[in-house]
Amino acid sequence: MEIIMSILAGVLFTTGIYNLLQKQMLRIIIGTALISHGAHLFILTMGELKTGAPPILEENIKNYTDPLPQALILTSIVISFGVTSLLLVLAYRASKENGTDNMEKLRGNEND
């Protein structure tokens, strides 16, 4: 299953990056969201899947799933959420202010 999950995360990266290479802001941001999903899936997979019970201590259970990746993902999810929110508002403001949501038109020149 880890192999399939790795491939799935790879697909998320692929589609994410494909979107990232587009011109329109919405697509680009969707791309970043896909990439972060891919990243989180990678963390989970790298900690090995289903090696035991959910990491909540109970009596009689000895094997638990690796809790550390879960903690890391949790931190990372929250951080990505913060960044994505900012990015969304920023994209909204940038496209309003500049009158376009096409990143290729937002190149600028030397002196501004």
Partner 1 sequence: MLFAVFLPVLLAIFIPFFSKWKEKIHTGYFVLLAPLAVFIYFIPHVGNDFSPVSQSYDWIPSLNIGLDFYLDGLSLLFVLLISGIGTLVTFYSIFYLHTSERLDQFYVYLLLFMTAMFGVVLSDNVFVLYSFWELTSISSFLLIGYWNYKEGSRYGALKSMLITVFGGLSMLGGFILLSIITETTSIQAMISQADVILSSEYFGLILTLVLLGAFTKSAQFPFHIWLPDAMEAPTPVSAYLHSATMVKAGIFLVARFTPIFSGSDWFFVFVSGIGILTLVWGSYMAVRQTDLKGILAFSTISQLGMIMSMLGFGTSAAIYAAVFHILNHATFKGSLFMIAGIVDHETGTRDIRRLGGLVTLMPISATLAFFGTFSMAGLPLPFLNGFYSKEMFFDATLELNESSIAFANVLAQAIPYLAVFGSIFTFVYSMYLVFGTFMGKQKLDQLKIKPHEAPIGMLISPIILVLGVVLIGLFPNLVNSSFLAHTAEAIYGQSMEAKHVQFWHGWELPLYMSLIVVSVGAILAFTRKYWNGIYSFIPGKLSFNKVYDFLVDQSEKASAKITNVYMTGSLRLYMALILVAILVCSFGVLWITDGFAFENPKVDEITIQEVLIALTMAAAAICTVFTRNKIAAILILGVVGYGLALLFVVYRAPDLALTQLVVETITVALFLLCFYHLPNLRERTEKASQKLVNIIISVAFGTLMTVVAISAHSTKLFAKISDYFVETSYKLGGGHNIVNVILVDMRGIDTLFEIVVLAIAALAIYGLIKLRNKKEAE
Partner 2 sequence: MISNLAVLPIVIPLIAGVLAILFHKKLKIVRVYSQVLTLINTGVVTYILFYVHQNGSVVLQAGDWMAPFGIVLVADMLSMTLVLTTNIVALACIFYAPKSLSIKQEEFYFYTFYFLLITGVSGAFITGDLFNLFVFFEVLLMASYGLIVLGGEKVQLRESMKYVLINLFSSMLFVTTIAFLYSVVGTVNMAQIAERVGEAEQTGILTTIGILFFFVFGTKAALFPLYYWLPKPYIAPNPVISALFGALLTKVGIYSLLRVFSLIFVYERDVTHELFIWIAALTLIFGSIGALSTNNIKLVVAYNIIPAVGFMLLGIGVYNSTGFSGTVYYLVHDMIIKAALFLLVGAITYLVGTSDLRKMRGLIHHYPLLGWMFFISAFVLAGIPPFSGFIGKLVLLQGAIEADRIVIAIIGLGSSLLILLSVLRIFIRGFWGEKDESIIPDRKAARGFILPVAFLLFFSVLLGVGAEWFYPSIESIGDYLMNPENYIESILKE
User: Should residue 11 be labelled a site residue for partner 2 when binding is judged by CB under 8 A?
Assistant: no
Rounded distance between C-alpha atoms, residue 53 and residue 66, angstroms = 9
DSSP lists the bridge partners of residue 53 as 64
Cα 44 from Cα 20, distance rounded (Å): 24
- Pick from 26, 52, 93, 102: which binds partner 2 (CB under 8 A)? 93
DSSP letter at 37? H
Binding site for partner 2 (CB under 8 A): 20, 25, 28, 32, 35-36, 38-40, 42-43, 45-47, 68-69, 72, 75-76, 79-80, 82-83, 86-87, 90-91, 93-94, 97-98, 103, 106, 108, 110-112
